Amino acid sequence: MTTTQFAEPASSQLIPVLGRFFETKTAADIEGTMSYFSPDMVTYIDATLGWEFAGYEALKGVFTQYMPNWHAPARSYATRIFANAASALVNMTDTPELFGGELRILAAIDFADGKIVRWVDYWDSSAYDPALYNQFRAPAEQFPRDLKDSRVSIQAAPEVINAATALQKSFRSEDPSAAGAILHTDVVFEDMALRTQVIGRIETLRYLERVLGRVPYGRSSQLRHVVGGPEGGGFEWTAGPDSEMLVGITALALDASGLITRVTSTYDSRQLEPDRKADLILASVPH
């Protein structure tokens, strides 16, 4: 059985709502799943495969296509949720029975009047079957670059907006010392795409010195959108020209004083040049 660890204290009514959503989705209940989405939905996007479902009926169509084929032990579930009353950052997993491979996703979700209006999934495809990836990924000329973030106001809690803005600014300007001012002493820094984890502020700052000029969320990256509540959330970003405008997301956990206790980024590392990816993986080793 999978243990679900939600952010504590659970200050938002969206946390139980999203818990029920994943139960309904796992049950392959098409109408029940769609009941969580606004009829005026802006978009649902898989930022890795380039799937864009612009509107309620388009999303219902894809669930109608796939859900009848989901059978036990197929599951879609959240392992961590950061939320306020209007937006959420969700760590979630789709098991291989859903889309042919295990997907470890960070999702940015916005609500209006209690219904989902925008949902964007970010995940790394490096462990996903190459044949399925090539089959499912949208052609380059059709790949969505507009993630509709400009059509949804930032509704995140002030605490996570402040932390996200400051951290992304330090990344963009390659300034680890600025990042250090808002990181907890025992911060855990993770890059899901590179399978990298660094523990503690001292080692994290040394790591950032080595990589901010080369990771997609580093030099010249641009902040797109922020979601989440006072205990944490995340910010979506677009990489600089060196990474061909790759998109991704960085999740943040905060303590009571607003310091960042965990930083978790993901993006599709399959889009990085192999030599660059290898160098970034090597950079996780102190030297």
| Residue pLDDT tens, the chain, 287 long | 344 444 444 457 789 999 999 999 999 999 999 999 999 999 999 999 999 999 999 999 999 999 999 998 999 999 999 999 999 999 999 999 999 999 999 999 999 999 999 999 999 999 999 999 999 999 989 999 999 999 999 999 999 999 999 999 999 999 999 999 999 999 999 999 999 999 999 999 999 999 999 999 999 999 999 999 999 999 999 998 887 779 999 999 999 999 999 999 999 999 999 999 999 999 988 87
CATH number at residue 273: 3.10.450.50
Alpha carbon 12 to its chain centroid, in Å, reads 19
Q: Does 1 fall in a domain?
A: no
Note whether 143 and 163 are same-domain residues: no
Q: What is the DSSP string of 151-205?
A: GS-----HHHHHHHHHHHHHHHTT-HHHHHTTEEEEEEEEETTTTEEEESHHHHH
Q: Answer yes or no: are the C-beta atoms of 226 and 234 closer than 8 Å.
A: yes
pLDDT value for 2 = 42
Write the burial class of residue 132 (CB in 10 Å: 0-12 exposed, 13-18 middle, 19+ buried): middle
Note whether 18 and 138 are same-domain residues: yes
**Domain housing 98:** 14-151
Please identify, among 104, 136, 151, the residue that sits at the C-terminal boundary of a domain: 151
112: tokens are 């209006």
Q: Does 4 fall in a domain?
A: no
Note whether 30 and 77 are same-domain residues: yes
Note whether 137 and 190 are same-domain residues: no
56 vs 44: CA distance, rounded Å? 9
Q: Does 5 fall in a domain?
A: no
Q: What residues are paired with 118 via a beta bridge? A: 43, 110
Please identify, among 151, 180, 197, the residue that sits at the C-terminal boundary of a domain: 151
CA distances from 210 to 35, 90, 196 (A): 46, 29, 13
pLDDT value for 243 = 79
Number of structural domains the chain divides into: 2
pLDDT value for 6 = 42
Please identify, among 151, 170, 201, the residue that sits at the C-terminal boundary of a domain: 151
Note whether 168 and 145 are same-domain residues: no
Q: Answer yes or no: are the C-beta atoms of 46 and 58 closer than 8 Å.
A: no
Q: Does 80 fall in a domain?
A: yes
